[in-house]
Structure 1
Amino acid sequence: MWGLHHSGVVAHWVDLWNNENLAQDVFLGETRVPVKILRSDHIHKAWYLLQPKGTGSKSKSDDLGQLRLKLTYIEDTVLPSACYTPLCNLLLKSPDVKPISASAAHILGDIFRERYEAVLPMVRLLLYHNRFVPFVSAVAALELDNTQEANTIFRGNSLATRCIDDMMKIVGKSYLAVTLKPVIDEICESNKTCEIDPIKLKEGDNVEVNKENLQVYVQKVFSSITQSSSNCPPLMCDVFRSLRHLACKRFQGDPHVQYSAVSSFVFLRFFAVAVLSPHSFQLRSHHPDPEIARTLTLISKTIQTLGSWGSLSKKLSSFKESYMYDFYKSFQEEKCIEKVKKFLDEISSNVSKESSRQEDAVVLKEGEVQKRTQGKKNFSKRNFKKRWLRLTNRELSYHKRKGKEALCTISVKNIQAVEKLDESAFNRKNMFQVVLSEKPLYVQAGNCVEASEWLEILGQVSRCNEGRLTTYHPSNYATGAWQCCKNQSSNAPGCKPCTITMLANLQLDIDCDREAERIFSLLSSNESKLQNMEDACASMAVYQGPQREQEEYSKFTIQEPKETFRTLKQLRNIMEELRTQHNSRNTSTAQYGSIDNPIVGKTS
């Protein structure tokens, strides 16, 4: 194992460690590689001697050996944030572009469809600005339009699957840690033999004992997954819910597609992959030894099969290995399918996860507030009365006092919006409104912190309601008109966009400027493909006949050539401006560290 860390802007240190079946990693040697050499345009090839830790001398050490590495050094020159605003805005409006294939984000994915990592900076930007779900829903709908059979749904390496894979790796880290890490640690540390292939058995191994060990591990992993719905991040649930809805709409005659659309991601592309390579998901610090890796491979294959939707008996006939066939038959098919179905319902249906798992309502928040009595024409202080507000995963209710019966209950699924209310509405601070199909409920919290907490928790539980509004009135309706927009119709649509509910428990450490710079670098290094796509749009706009397969631009997804061409032109103009900004920075005589020539990256 070797490690690379940055030490200031002068050099990189390369450390070599040994972790083979030892109680702790053992340091073997280190060397120093100057950054100045790596910054040059040509490829640098050289041999470096390993030195004892902290030794700066160049004397040869006979007992430390030599290390050969192949490194790629990439330097990003990040401009001030304002320089990236046009590019970010163009990418962030992608979910609203019709058709989605004409959007800047889809074009980026289309240009780099063979480079899996190229989509990552775009995904990070969309996640940070809460625009990921509408974008991935649109590209998933486009993919489903081109999917002919339900049993092949989301099985390819498409833009939709790449985006969701990256999202799950970013958002699902803590979910994996809570769900899988304890059992993965047990598997790696207990060192029980689980080989069931007769050809790979070692002398003295008992295949029945190994099969029993493997079955215990599979059951633990399977149970951990199917009982983990309450820990599934809200953003992942939102994506799964959208995929489920789109799949049902596309294949209306298939009752199982609502499950296969979700299981193809959460089992095949998330949990099974994490079990197979726990070190890649920070579940283990290092790659497991060969025997443990083999055990994890067998568990991963089993989890994929148990989690993939469909008849288990039909799957068994497709296995080439007879030992795997016998092992899978040891699981009770109906019980496994029932558990998988329940789990998939909990993470992807419109029913609240808590209410689907337990009969009793779960109290999310309660406290004393001032509530405005409905139906009154005069807005005096007497119209506001002290009430005890109580929110569960099912309903919002208010009571005369804590512990008393509810004076009124409101179903959570009927909430259309939760927004702040202008102080001028009732000349009161810390007010918010719960917008319903009838009259809104006006509430005054005890202080600004309480108001923010109510807004956040109410927004979370109602964010996926089907009747959610896109606009609202920030003030009240009085004296025959809305006080905010002066519209005289009490049923008039809102005059202000609703707040986009940020997902709880999602903390993203993302540098948007650096991600935008990476996108710019990717596009700049592939301008020929952008030009080919422009030529394809121009050709299709003039000649609408079928395109020849051997032509370069037959690889692109172009539904509306004029709209796509317009987006490409915008991209080219933005890139030209960024290129000018970079050139001006390179020739700048401003002091390094000033606002005109800021320091790039972090130093230590």
Structure 2
Amino acid sequence: MVVEGTLTLARSAVRLSTGSGSSDPYCIVKVDNEVVARTATVWKNLNPFWGEEYTLHLPLGFHSLTFYVLDEDTIGHDDVIGKISLSKEQISSHPRGIDSWINLTRVDPNEEVQGEIRLELWVLEEPHRRVLHCHVIEARDLAPRDISGTSDPFARVSCNGQTLETAIIKKTRFPHWDEVLEFDLEERELEKETRGPLLSMEVWDWDMVGKNDFLGQVEFSLDTLQKSPVKGWFRLLPFPSAEEDAGGKLGALRLKVQLAEDRILPSMYYQPLIELLVESILCPAEEHVTPLAILEEIGSVESRQDVAMKLVKIFLGQGLAVPFLDYLNLREVTRTSDPNTLFRSNSLASKSMEQFMKVVGMPYLNEVLKPIINRIFEEKKYVELDPCKIEMNRTRRISFKGSLSEAQIRESSLELLKGYLSDIMESIIGSVEKCPPIMRVAFKQLHKRVEDQFPEAEHEDMKYIAISGFLFLRFFAPAILTPKLFNLRDQHADPRTSRTLLLLAKAVQSIGNLGLQLGHGKEQWMAPLHPFIIPCVSHVKDFLDKLIDVDTGEAQPRMLFHPSATIKEGYLHKRKAEGLHLVTRFTFKKRYFWLSSETLSYSKSPEWQVRSSIPIQRICAVERVDENAFQQPHMMQIITQDAEGQLHTMYIQCKNVNELNQWLSAIRKASIYNERMLPSCHPGAFRGSRWTCCLQADRTVHGCSRTHSAVTLGDWSDPLDPDAEAQMVYGQLLLARDKLRYHERSFQDCRMAATARLLDVIQDLERAHSAFERREKEEAATESY
């Protein structure tokens, strides 16, 4: 049984207040002390809009989610504008999620604590006295306070007016003290009524010059300690802060955050639900009253996108994605009387087609659009057709011969747009063989359904518009408009490039609409592009005819990706840990990496025939590396175990924090079911006869930091997980149970029978969850004795 926490962040925007009057803001998202995401930088803007959405798979024991807003500085360190910290309890208290503006708070170094401390505390009765023994063993993952990326920590223990300190351990975030501090306890102190914590354990960073820096604290009730000893790891906490926020003086961040904690049951418990959904498409005797149809009727509009994604993955896992989409599309088409409104609403059919394209078509999208998008970003040409938005002062950047007239600017812009559009359309039209076969089969079925429903000559184009409405309007055009959100770029476009992309997206939309709306909109200044768009329409129809010319008799694969298919690839810099002495940047070799569900392989270049490979099942940890280990940022380590049980480490450097997070996440997900995953590792390197993190001289000593294999980013390449997907569908049905009961009372025959079967499945799953919950409580109670 697995319990999984998933968090989704979306629609991020911010109103900032800075003294300079300008800012280049971006956001960092942290789960406890682990950086999980970094948004793009929005240049020169105090009201940036990111619109970035992340799904994070989190460990059950996480404590908080923190958002830092920073101002990027090309010289020196980036300035922190403010932060928002949400505890797990705060997020969990909003079952429907948080969606609001939240004021930024100041970032006080004394509050930026992290890490844990390991302690043993007990009261010992001795002749004529009682003694409190405080065994301060070690700490891990402390906040770095020095320029070197480390700290010089010591512990200070206070008990009833007495204060003792441990030794100072220099240059580490993982100190080992192993000291026992003793406190004499007077009888009257123990007899006092407990009035809050009486023992305080603080960790400080020692500074030779200036004040010591606070690293965190943990407090205990002396009354509790005398009843039973305390032993284990304890999370370090900040000093209590009196200031809730800065009253909006620093600005505000708009967040949409939702936490879903689900108990994932063994597969056998979800089989009846999956069989019921599959039956809806394989045996739809009364197609309008199937369980799947009822699921659409009772679901909320807000949850429809999530439900669509889960259903797409469930049916992909069953090898029935095309019949599933065909079933929904047929229902949509037969319910539509006016062909001009076909798939215009956010129905389950339209959402499922949209999510299906993202799940199976993202590699195809990247192959078709990425080279052209990259060129547009690199060229940064000034393009504008709207006379109201032409900025004459930009003309000097266009021509060194002097200022251009408005007409000349529009003519220059028109030629640039036609050039870009020509390349985009040529790439799309020539991509028939690159399109995944399963997408082509789905489009072929859609084409047939629309043609059968609207056979009239005046509706001849509808069978094309139905496909192009998804492929062009909901796939290609949005990716051109915001390439960052489709993994085509690491950063958002600057204002000039963004305007070019907007104009291109508008043109691609017009082409996807087969030119039917040309001349009817308010943007008549787009008219100069019409002579280019109109000829493209016939090319698009030819492209769609070729796209659906595919054999539908082939069995659909049960797996989304073949085991040997590449999940992620790209250039990285690597070095092995063996022989690690003086480390320079030249010891890192540039290599091209491929990740599949079976191997992580690399070679000198994509064309190089000789590859080195690491079997995925031998990976036992994938973790970040402290910057001070190599004086290099954005580094990770891959720890493997050979047949003899020996551990080997490969260090890899990425070009930025986003690439680092993506590779960490991808390799963790590929190796998540490995049997020998390590619970701890060293975030430093063994150099100069000791570990740079914990300063231990034994190279084989157990790791000093916890591993984070449970923290991953969700994306289109996630492996299929039918149990987790079925659990989410069950959760939606459970929320809508009252609606189901109303359906059961209000209708007769087939509808009532289908609803009753859904209610039976919900009841059985609810009982199974209750049984597992009782078992967990019984096991926890047994372990406590």
Shorter-normalised TM range: 0.5 to 0.7
Distance 1:351 1:86, change over 3 A: closer
User: In structure 2, which of residues 395, 420, 425 is the aligned counterpart of residue 217 of structure 1?
Assistant: 420
- Counterpart in 1 of 2:268? 82
Judge which range, 339-348 or 248-257, deviates more: 248-257
Deviation of 1:534 after TM superposition, in Å, equals 2.3
Q: 1:16 aligns with which of 50, 68, 90?
A: 68
Report if the CA contact (8 A) 1:537-1:564 is conserved.
Answer: yes
Higher helix share: 1
Q: Distance in 2 between matches of 1:94 and 1:26?
A: 55
Match in the other structure for 1:315: 517
Shift in CA distance, 239/113, structure 1 to aligned 2, threshold 3 Å: farther
SS at match of 1:76: strand
Spell out, residue by residue over 1:504-544, the C-alpha distance to the aligned partner (whole angstroms, 9 max, x if none). Answer: xx976122111111111111112222223223323xxxxxx
SS of equivalent to 1:591: helix
Q: Which runs of structure 2 are paired with 1:88-487 in the superposition (5 Å)?
A: 88-96=274-282, 97-112=284-299, 114-115=301-302, 116-117=304-305, 118-204=307-393, 205=395, 206-254=409-457, 255-309=460-514, 312=515, 315-329=517-531, 331=532, 333-334=534-535, 336-350=536-550
Counterpart-to-counterpart distance in 2, 1:337 and 1:23? 49
> Which sections of structure 1, spanning at least 5 residues, go unmatched?
353-505, 539-561, 597-604
Identify which range, 235-244 or 54-63, moves more after superposition: 54-63
Shift of 1:155: 3.0
Q: Which amino acid aligns with 1:328?
A: H
Post-superposition CA distance 1:189-237 (Å, at most 9, x none)? 3221112111111123422222222222222222221111111111110
Please say if 1:50 is aligned against 2:101.
no
Match of 1:530 among 740, 743, 746: 740
1:172, distance to aligned residue in structure 2 (A): 0.9
User: Which residue in the other structure is 1:591 paired with?
Assistant: 779
Percent identical pairs in the alignment equals 27
Give the direction of change, closer, same or farther, for the CA distance of 1:112–1:66 in structure 2 (3 Å limit).
Answer: same
How many Å separate the matches in 2 of 1:24 and 1:107?
58
Work out the CA distance in 2 between the residues paired with 1:207 and 1:307: 24
Letter in 2 for 1:319: G
Structure 1 residue aligned with 2:719: 509
User: In structure 2, what is the Cα distance between the partners aligned to 1:315 and 1:207?
Assistant: 22
Task: Tell me the CA shift for residue 340 of structure 1.
Answer: 0.9
Q: Contact 1:194–1:214 (CA<8 Å) still a contact in 2?
A: yes
Of stretches 253-262 and 214-223 in structure 1, the one that deviates more from structure 2 is 253-262
**Residues 572 and 253 (structure 1), Cα distance of their counterparts in 2 relative to 1, 3 Å cut:** same
Deviation at 1:281, TM superposition (A): 1.7
CA contact (8 A) 1:109 1:159 kept: yes
Q: Residues 145-199 of structure 1, C-alpha deviation per residue, up to 9 Å, x if partnerless?
A: 2333444433333222111011011111111111111211222232211121111
List per-residue Cα deviations over 1:471-497 (Å, max 9, x = no partner). xxxxxxxxxxxxxxxxxxxxxxxxxxx
TM-score scaled by length of structure 1 = 0.61
| Structure 2 match to 1:578 | 765
Aligned-pair CA distance for 1:49? 4.3
SS class of match (2:262): coil
Worse overlay, 508-517 or 287-296: 287-296
The change in CA–CA distance for 1:163 and 1:209 in structure 2 (over 3 A counts) is same
Q: What is the Cα deviation at residue 263 of structure 1?
A: 1.4
Residue 27 (structure 1) shift: 7.3
1:421-465 deviations in whole A, cap 9, x for unaligned? Answer: xxxxxxxxxxxxxxxxxxxxxxxxxxxxxxxxxxxxxxxxxxxxx
**Deviations 1:373-414, CA, capped at 9 Å, x for gaps:** xxxxxxxxxxxxxxxxxxxxxxxxxxxxxxxxxxxxxxxxxx
CA contact (8 A) 2:440 2:550 kept: no
Tell me which amino acid in the other structure corresponds to 2:320.
R
Q: 2 CA distance for matches of 1:102 and 1:109?
A: 11
Q: Which residue identity does 2:387 align to in structure 1?
A: P
SS at match of 1:349: coil
Of Structure 1 and Structure 2, the greater strand share is in 2
Contact 1:14 1:31 in 2 (8 A): yes
Q: Partners of 1:591 and 1:282 in 2: how far apart?
A: 45
Structure 1 residue 521 corresponds to structure 2 residue 692? no
SS at match of 1:180: helix
Deviation at 1:5, TM superposition (A): 4.3
Aligned-partner residue type, residue 333 of structure 1:
I
The alpha-carbon distance between structure 1 residues 527 and 291, as it changes in their structure 2 partners (threshold 3 A), is: farther
Kindly state the Cα deviation for residue 26 of structure 1 after the two structures are TM-superposed: 4.8
Which letter does structure 2 place at the counterpart of 1:344? L
CA contact (8 A) 1:319 1:325 kept: no
Q: Report the residue type matching 2:29 in the other structure.
A: L
**Would the aligned equivalents of 2:414 and 2:528 in 1 still touch at CA under 8 Å?**
no
SS at match of 1:316: coil
Distance 2:254 2:500 in 1: 30
Evaluate the alpha carbon distance shift between residue 341 and residue 84 of structure 1 in structure 2; reply closer, same or farther with a 3 A threshold.
Answer: same
Question: Residues 68, 337 of structure 1: CA spacing in aligned structure 2 closer, same or farther, 3 A cutoff?
Answer: closer
Name the SS of the counterpart of 2:263 in structure 1. Answer: coil
User: Offset of 1:572 from its aligned partner?
Assistant: 0.6
Equivalent position amino acid for 1:578 in 2: L
Distance 2:391 2:413 in 1: 11
1:4 and 2:12 matched: no
* Cα 1:34–1:21 shift into 2, 3 Å: closer
Query: Do the aligned residues in 2 keep the contact of 1:104 with 1:571 (CA within 8 Å)?
Result: yes
Deviation string, structure 1 residues 91-146 (Cα, Å, up to 9, x no partner): 12221222333222222122226233232222221122122211221222222223
* Contact preservation (8 Å) 1:183, 1:221: yes
Contact 2:441 2:550 in 1 (8 A): no
What amino acid is the match of 1:153?
A: L
Report if aligned partners of 2:383, 2:500 keep a CA contact under 8 Å in 1. Answer: yes
Any unmatched runs of 5+ in structure 2? 1-25, 33-58, 113-142, 145-214, 217-237, 396-408, 553-715
Tell me the equivalent position of 2:638: none
CA contact (8 A) 1:272 1:300 kept: yes
What is the CA RMSD across the aligned residues, in angstroms?
3.5
What letter is aligned with 1:35?
K
Pick which of 60-69 and 163-172 moved more: 60-69
Q: Is the 8 A contact 1:241 1:348 kept in 2?
A: yes
Tell me, yes or no, if the aligned pair for 2:31 and 2:66 is still in contact at 8 Å.
Answer: no
Q: Distance in 2 between matches of 1:321 and 1:121?
A: 39
Q: Following the alignment from structure 1 to structure 2, what is the Cα–Cα distance between the partners of residues 282 and 347? A: 24
Distance 1:46 1:337, change over 3 A: closer
Contact 2:72 / 2:78 at 8 angstroms: preserved in 1?
no
CA distance in 2, matches of 1:101, 1:146: 10
CA distance in 2, matches of 1:4, 1:101: 44
